[in-house]
Structure 1
Amino acid sequence: MTVSRLEQALGHTFQNRDLLQLALTHRSFTSPHNERLEFLGDAILNAVIARCLFERFPLLPEGDLSRLRASLVRQDSLHQLAVDLSLGECLRLGEGEQKSGGQQRPSILADALEALFGALWLDAGFDLAGQVIVHVYAGVLKRLTSGQGIKDAKTRLQEYLQGIRLALPQYSLAGAEGEAHAQQFRVVCVIESLQIRTEGRGGSRRAAEQMAAERALESLESAHDHSRLQRS
């Protein structure tokens, strides 16, 4: 994936190309790197998500809003969004990090996404950066419900299949790559009754299963939308 395709996915073309390059530079590559932008991005991300939740759930108390925000900005959530953007393909990493699978490491991807949000703020201002963040989070925000927080993908997939009285999905390990301290796992999710087979990757088997389940949910949603169009 090229940097221009990343910009297309974000819906923003950087005026300051140096900022974009800095956001994609890991400390293993050179200095300066993206850690200062990560600090900035963390701040704007929390502010934008807080406002989204404040407006969406006007009756929700502060404690529940805080828990919802925490679930949205934690590393697992940021990692999944970064994977969806193919952000790892654009990162500038040192040779050691590249060989050990740094482009797929959850912590590196989550930090780089925050750095990207920080760069957006400096490049285009708060309002536009906020619009991009909401765009990136659109799918997650669509599924958000108050009271329960965000259910993980495996739970949502299981509940959906139980609701239509189908057998639960089967997860199997398809492989593992990289050094022992930085392995990347590949997991396959199969829903035989619906002929759905998806694959997920992650720094742990659990993370890979969650990604595979998320992609299965996307397949179900796509099939549902297609069926609805045919009936209309």
Structure 2
Amino acid sequence: MIHNLYLQFTKKLQYLFKNKDFLDEALHHRSFVNEQNTAMRDNERLEFLGDAVLSLVISHALMKRYPDLKEGDLTVIRSSLVNERQLACIARSLNLGDYILLGKGEEQTNGREKDSILSDALEAVFAAVYLDGGYDVVFKVMESLFSEKIDSVISESEEHYYKSQLQELVQAAHYSTPFYTVISENGPDHEKTFVVELKVGKFTTRGTGKSKKKAEQNAAKIILGEIEKKGLKS
């Protein structure tokens, strides 16, 4: 990689390689290597390793940040973070497409914008950081890159969390099915407040929120607290 481009990318990545060869290999797409007359390696081996590094680091980061989440919830959240679309989004935030070396065919078909090429190259970069700096370094780099994505996915998950927890609890105990009813909607369309009543057997409560879903979640959260105190006895 040309020195100026190397410095630009490592500044965005917030990591300076000790061995620049790792990064060079991570940015060599197969289409580019196939057009060369040298024994140059493409980035597919690093992509293979990077996929494993990605899964480990994201799993570790989620367990560290959310120690109370169950294994099933962690798995769902992780799958929302390590897919091609999310990886390509992070790659674009680094302008990674500007630094990948592509063959003429991929250049002509706008390969620098393809999600598959960007996500594969990003995994290869993660592997390069791991090989060059070790686990603690790649964890720090990736945690920084994924921080906002993790918060966003967690926020979306919370929209369903308490209702799901309540549903699982009553089903396991063969208890009454939760029943939600919208009691009122107040305020203008752009700033409504919803009130939802929730009945579960002997338990009844109300939750409020800026959306029907949020009000239902708040009601489910209250009921879960009551169940924890009193238990599910008919």
Indicate whether the TM-score tops 0.5.
yes
- Which deviates more from structure 2 when the two are superposed, residues 134-143 or residues 43-52? 134-143
Report 1:5-154 matches (<5 A). 5-30=8-33, 31-145=40-154, 148=157
Distance in structure 1 (CA, Å) of the matches to 2:67 and 2:101: 42
Distance 1:70 1:150, change over 3 A: farther
Task: Please give the root-mean-square deviation of Cα atoms over the aligned residues, in Å.
Answer: 2.3
Offset at 1:45?
1.0
Distance 1:149 1:103, change over 3 A: farther
SS of residue in 1 equivalent to 2:29: coil
Offset at 1:90?
0.2
Distance in structure 2 (CA, Å) of the matches to 1:36 and 1:120: 14
CA-to-partner distance for each residue in 1:102-152, whole Å, 9 max, x for gaps? 01100000000000000001111111011101111122123342671799x
Select which of 2, 7, 26 maps to 2:5.
2
Distance in structure 1 (CA, Å) of the matches to 2:31 and 2:109: 12
Q: Is the 8 A contact 1:34 1:112 kept in 2?
A: yes
Distance in structure 1 (CA, Å) of the matches to 2:43 and 2:102: 11
Larger radius of gyration: 2
Distance 1:55 1:113, change over 3 A: same
Q: Which amino acid aligns with 1:63?
A: G
What is residue 165 of structure 1 aligned with on the other side? 190
Q: Percent identity?
A: 40
Q: Is the 8 A contact 1:41 1:116 kept in 2?
A: yes
**Structure 2 spans left out of the alignment, 5+ residues:** 34-39, 161-187, 192-234
What is residue 188 of structure 1 aligned with on the other side? none
**Structure 1 spans left out of the alignment, 5+ residues:** 152-162, 167-232
- Aligned length in residues: 155
Distance in structure 1 (CA, Å) of the matches to 2:133 and 2:101: 23
Q: Is the 8 A contact 2:80 2:153 kept in 1?
A: no
Offset at 1:49?
0.6
Distance 1:48 1:73, change over 3 A: same
Distance 1:106 1:149, change over 3 A: farther
Q: Which amino acid aligns with 2:83?
A: R
Distance 1:113 1:48, change over 3 A: same
Q: Which amino acid aligns with 1:76?
A: R
Distance in structure 2 (CA, Å) of the matches to 1:45 and 1:149: 24
Q: Which amino acid aligns with 1:72?
A: L
Q: Which amino acid aligns with 1:97?
A: E
Q: Which runs of 4+ in 1 moved over 4 A?
A: none
Distance in structure 2 (CA, Å) of the matches to 1:140 and 1:69: 11
Offset at 1:93?
0.3
Distance in structure 2 (CA, Å) of the matches to 1:164 and 1:24: 49
Structure 1 length normalisation: TM-score? 0.62
